[in-house]
């Protein structure tokens, strides 16, 4: 997921126990309701922004949207900071 304010991207393993407790499916197969549940259980980005499935990637220099470089939901591009759910404290519960 991308932040809505800066180029930070959040990644996690599909088998992450916290993620699996929220949605037992691959991220690109989630229903809108499941996506909303996952989003509601994430803390804010370090910049204060919000992670969401629908957010586009952002330029690391100006923070403008650069969705054209990652148009497929099954793939992502890291152009700025990366948070890893296994390493960084991102989940609100658990």
Helix (H, G, I), strand (E, B) or coil at 65: strand
Is the separation of the CB atoms in 85 and 91 below 8 Å? yes
Q: What is the pLDDT of residues 64-84, one digit of tens each?
A: 888 666 665 555 666 778 888
Hey, what are 33's tokens? Answer: 């309701």
Most distant CA atoms of the chain, gap in Å: 36
Nearest to 45 by CA among 55, 35, 37, 36: 55
> Higher-confidence residue: 5 or 61?
5
């Amino acid at each position: 997921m991308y932040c809505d304010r800066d180029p930070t991207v959040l990644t996690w393993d599909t088998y992450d126990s916290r993620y699996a407790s929220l949605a037992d499916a691959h991220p690109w197969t989630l229903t809108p309701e499941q996506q909303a549940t996952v989003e509601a259980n994430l803390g804010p980005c370090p910049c204060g922004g919000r992670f969401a499935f629908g957010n586009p990637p952002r330029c690391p220099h100006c923070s403008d949207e650069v969705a054209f470089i990652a148009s497929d939901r099954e793939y992502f591009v890291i152009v700025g900071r990366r948070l890893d759910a296994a390493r960084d404290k991102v989940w609100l519960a658990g």
